[in-house]
Structure 1
Amino acid sequence: MHFIGTVQAAVTATESDGGPTAAELDAIELEMPVITAEIALLDAQIMTLDRPLSELDTRRIRRARRRVLAARRALSNQTAAATVTAPGGAA
């Protein structure tokens, strides 16, 4: 009878179990403006969960949504510009 415990370490082990790679950290850093804008939107929405919306709450949520859209647009434009100028791209 073969025990799976002896094979399991070889099957489940990966090269880097220590954390994110440099490329993953760079991707997170690139997306950080979007992440912070989404957190601000979530905070604005959470503040209004237990009460009716006031005019100030409505404006706060609308502003936060615009910031999220602007951050996503900037990220999209930034990645699109990087792919256009990347060497080896399609002509």
Structure 2
Amino acid sequence: MRKRLVPVIAEPTAADLAAIESEWPLIAADLDLLDAEITMLYAEDRGGPSPLDWRRLRRAEAGVTRAAAELAARTTNPRRAA
């Protein structure tokens, strides 16, 4: 006899949504870095990355570092979260 599978629909809690919201600057910076890295990969089709491609990659890497540092500072010092 087969048991019927019941779909589990788990909605995110308010705490989950708050955590995502607080981490969003880092998520956005990671997405910018990923986009810059993809651009670098496809630059080979154009004869190699341009100086602008390299600058974009460096800025994206710096953005991730900055966002990660800000997030770490907020989580270690809750007063700065506001």
Q: Which band: TM-score by shorter chain?
A: 0.7 to 0.9
TM-score, scaled relative to structure 2 = 0.78
Would you identify which runs of 4 or more consecutive aligned residues in structure 1 move more than 6 Å? none
Instruction: Compare the two structures and name the one with the higher helix fraction.
Output: 2
Q: How many residues align?
A: 75
The one-letter code of the counterpart of 1:27 is A
Larger radius of gyration: 1
TM-score, scaled relative to structure 1 = 0.71
Question: Structure 1: how far apart are the matches of 2:61 and 2:41?
Answer: 17
Which runs of 5 or more residues in structure 2 are unaligned? none
Query: Residue 3 of structure 2 corresponds to which residue in structure 1?
Result: 5
Question: Structure 2: how far apart are the matches of 1:53 and 1:41?
Answer: 15
Which runs of 5 or more residues in structure 1 are unaligned? 84-91
Residue 18 (structure 1) shift: 4.0
Aligned partner of residue 12 in structure 2, secondary structure: coil
Give the share of equivalent positions with the same residue, in percent: 40
Query: Residue 58 of structure 1 corresponds to which residue in structure 2?
Result: 54
Given candidates 30, 35, 38, the residue that maps to 1:38 is: 30
| Deviation by residue 1:49-76 (Cα, 9 ceiling, x = unmatched) | 1221221111110000000000000000
